[in-house]
Amino acid sequence: MSTTVTSASRALDPQTMLQAAISEAELGRSEGGIPIGAALFASDGTLLGSGRNRRVQHDDPSVHGETDAFRAAGRQRDYRQTIMVTTLSPCWYCSGLVRQFNIGSVIVGESVTFTGGHEWLRENGVSVTVLRDQHCIDLMTEFIETNPALWNEDIGVSE
């Protein structure tokens, strides 16, 4: 048996792919933003684009991790084989993006601190993998405790 592992096959491990999204989330936190990151991969594990929530940085509520990664990936001919990896369960807006463009798979870092539309995606034929990554949980738990008003603004909850 060959011991050679290509970088592409390594990248297909959900936890490995999640690292790209976590790096974005940590970058967002260091910028004073909401620590949610995402990355869009091709079926062979090639990173197409990554991004992070930049509501604060850009004063733009439409820049979520998933939408930022989606835009960074540029135009893709077909999204069915792509994999959207996100540190946090996708909100309805980002779940809509997945449906609109027929993204075939979603990997979620955690859905403990927030649960968006990932069950709805699953019911509609999207392959959904929900991890319970402690690093992702810690990032959000710390953020929500420190910035409850900003978090409520991001998820559209009035105080």
Contact segment (CB under 5 A) with Zn ion among 27-35, 60-68, 71-79, 137-145 equals 60-68
Name the catalytic one among 24, 26, 31, 66: 66
Beta carbon nearer to Zn ion, 29 or 64 = 64
Question: Which of 75, 117, 115, 113 is closest to 98 using CA atoms?
Answer: 117
Beta carbon nearer to Zn ion, 83 or 94 = 94
3-state class (DSSP) for residue 138: helix
To the nearest whole angstrom, how small is the minimum distance from the Cβ of residue 2 to Zn ion? 40
To the nearest whole angstrom, how small is the minimum distance from the Cβ of residue 94 to Zn ion? 3
Pure H helices in the chain:
7-11, 14-30, 55-58, 65-72, 92-100, 118-123, 134-146, 148-154
Q: How far is residue 132's CA from residue 50's CA, in Å, rounded to a whole number?
A: 21
Neighbours of 147 (CB within 10 A): 16
- Pick from 63, 69, 94, 103 the residue near Zn ion by CB under 5 A: 94
Q: Are 80 and 102 in contact (CB under 8 A)?
A: yes
Tell me if 64 contacts Zn ion by CB under 5 A: yes
Beta carbon nearer to Zn ion, 12 or 150 = 150
Contact positions vs Zn ion (CB under 5 A): 64, 91, 93-94
- Residues assigned a catalytic role: 66
